[in-house]
Amino acid sequence: MSERARHISATVVLLLCAPSFAQAQSAAELQQQIDQHSAQITQLDKEIAEYQKQLQATSAKKQTLQTQLAQLALSIKKTTASIDRTKNQIGSTELQIQQLSSGISKTEGAIAGQERGLAESLRALNEAETQPLVIKMASEGALTEVWNDLAAAESLQIALGEHIESLRSAKQVLTDTKAATEEKRAQLVKQRNTLLTQQGSLNATKQAQSELLAQTKSKESNYQAIIAQKKAQEAQFEQALNDLQEKLRYTVNPSQITPAGKGVLSWPLDGVRMTQYFGNTPFASGGAYGGKGHNGIDLAAQIGTPIKAALSGTVIGAGNTDAVRGCYSFGKWVFIKHGNGLGSIYAHLSQIAVMEGQQVSTGQLLGYSGETGYATGPHLHFGVYVASAVQIIPLSSATQTKTPCASAVMPVAPLTGYLNPLNYLPTI
């Protein structure tokens, strides 16, 4: 065999022996750690389900200080387990990103090696084809040597075609791996945001527990007295608010608000369960709300449940009527003005996570549910308004009715300014 034939044959060998991208030995260790996280997540899921079951059983009991504290304790345990679960999800995702990054590195190395082999192959093939057959025969002096060179060149061409296909495949693997890594990183960011929300929920629940113990001094009689006071002063507040609503005059211009339609707004929390509807509900007909009907809807929500914006908009008010001694109304509240002529209120919160003037997007965290204000149980009061009809003012600036809430700042509107939220929310 001629020197050129041997060189071409060597190139074919180099080409066929291009580096592979087999998994490194540490890949098994990574997978073992991922499996451990998965096992812990499964166990935590069982714990969370059990805590939820106990919470439902507790909420069905008579309202006492002991049951309230038991609910808060269970909520803390459930949220702590949820936080641990999210931490394990984050750990698992980080390990999977390591796996994918390793795959990217190996694929890049394989491509680089194959590209070097391809360059060498092209160089050898170019040499083999630069001289005419007659010149090759004359210079090498033997027909057999020439045919060997031609056979080697043909082998090289076949290997070159296979090599190009291999290179394309490797590049596709690299592209797919990069896309998967980007998806995992986005998932990781989402999990970290979830963790922050859960930690905020835990803090809100712990704070509510501490405030309850401080208010009641751990005595059942004090707890029942607070509930009785809330109910009595709620009636005063509702009367003052109704007087104000009747005095205010506002003609709704339909062209200024978006038409009613399912899905115009999103539900402000996950896991919707209605406890009070809008308007003349049986509860309202029984004497609540001064006989004027319920101006929003109530949604069951354990203390510390994340509350989200139903639509993007601007926070034009946020406050705490409990800061006024003896006032039991909205408690901690947030009001958002939306771009479609609607406004929405989120009341009885335990904590507020936004501030006046802030721009918020649909689904953004506004705060955490609670039972501040005249709520005698944890829930979210969600109301929808004609935004242009709403004033955020001290109650005393527009009514002479005596009430402990006179100096409390809150959203108020005429009766024509209230809208039924269910006309804009998705069907449950």
DSSP of 13-56: HHHHTPPP-PPPTHHHHHHHHHHHHHHHHHHHHHHHHHHHHHHH
> 171-192: b or e for each residue (b if 16 or more CB lie within 10 Å)?
eebbeebeebbeebeeebeebe
Pairing of strands 306-308, 313-320: unpaired
Residue 229: φ, ψ to 5°: -65, -40
Residues 238 and 346 in one domain: yes
Q: How far is CA 58 from CA 50, 66, 226, 255, 372, in A?
A: 12, 10, 21, 48, 20
Q: What is the pLDDT of residue 253?
A: 72
**Structure tokens given for 266:** 């999103």
Residues 192 and 251 in one domain: no
The neighbouring-strand residues paired with 346 are: 334, 382
Amino acid occupying residue 26:
S
Residues 206 and 230 in one domain: no
Maximal CA-CA distance, the chain: 121
Indicate the residue among 151, 177, 211 that finishes a domain. 211
Residues 370 and 345 in one domain: yes
Residues 122 and 238 in one domain: no
Q: How far is CA 305 from CA 55, 73, 199, 228, in A?
A: 13, 14, 11, 25
Residues 233 and 128 in one domain: no
User: 319 and 333 in contact (C-beta within 8 Å)?
Assistant: yes
Q: Is 337 strand, coil or helix? A: strand
Q: Give the chain's domain count.
A: 2
Taking the CA atoms of 210, 216, 220 and 223 in sequence, report the sign of the dihedral they define: negative
Q: What is the pLDDT of residue 81?
A: 95
d(CA 291, CA 278): 13
**CA angle at 76 for the pair 71 and 79, rounded to the nearest 5°:** 120
Domain containing 38 equals 3-211
Residue 298: φ, ψ to 5°: -110, 135
Q: Is 428 part of a structural domain of the chain?
A: no
Q: What is the pLDDT of residue 60?
A: 80
Residues 254 and 335 in one domain: yes
**Structure tokens given for 32:** 């073992």
d(CA 382, CA 268): 8
Whichever domain contains 392, its CATH number is 2.70.70.10
d(CA 364, CA 307): 8
**Structure tokens given for 181:** 């890594």
Report which DSSP code applies to 111: H
426: nearest Cα among 311, 267, 259, 307:
267
Residues 175 and 286 in one domain: no
d(CA 426, CA 428): 6
Tens-place pLDDT, residues 361-389: 999 999 999 999 988 789 999 999 999 98
Residue 105: φ, ψ to 5°: -60, -45
Residues 156 and 286 in one domain: no
Q: Is 11 part of a structural domain of the chain?
A: yes
Question: Please, what are the averages of pLDDT over each run of 10 residues along the chain (428 residues)?
Answer: 53 50 64 92 94 88 89 93 94 89 79 72 63 52 55 65 72 80 89 92 93 92 88 71 65 78 94 83 48 78 95 97 87 96 96 96 96 88 93 76 81 86 92
d(CA 421, CA 261): 10
* 149 contacts: CB under 8 Å, gap ≥ 6: 2, 4, 5, 8, 128, 136, 140
Identify how many contiguous H helices and E strands the chain contains and give both numbers: 7, 12
Residues 356 and 233 in one domain: yes
Indicate the residue among 177, 211, 245 that finishes a domain. 211
d(CA 287, CA 232): 13
Indicate the residue among 189, 211, 233 that finishes a domain. 211
Residues 163 and 289 in one domain: no
d(CA 223, CA 226): 5
Report which DSSP code applies to 416: G
Q: Is 66 part of a structural domain of the chain?
A: yes
**Structure tokens given for 274:** 């209605």
Residues 306 and 376 in one domain: yes
Q: Is 83 part of a structural domain of the chain?
A: yes
Q: Is 19 part of a structural domain of the chain?
A: yes
Q: How far is CA 132 from CA 36, 136, 227, 236, in A?
A: 66, 6, 104, 108
d(CA 126, CA 121): 8
Q: What is the pLDDT of residue 2?
A: 52
Q: Half-sphere exposure of residue 200, counting CA atoms within 13 Å on the CB side?
A: 21
Q: Is 314 strand, coil or helix? A: strand
State which H helix or E strand residue 58 sits in.
helix 26-59
User: 321 and 333 in contact (C-beta within 8 Å)?
Assistant: yes
Q: What is the pLDDT of residue 376?
A: 79
* 238 contacts: CB under 8 Å, gap ≥ 6: 288, 289, 290, 292
Residue 190: φ, ψ to 5°: -65, -40
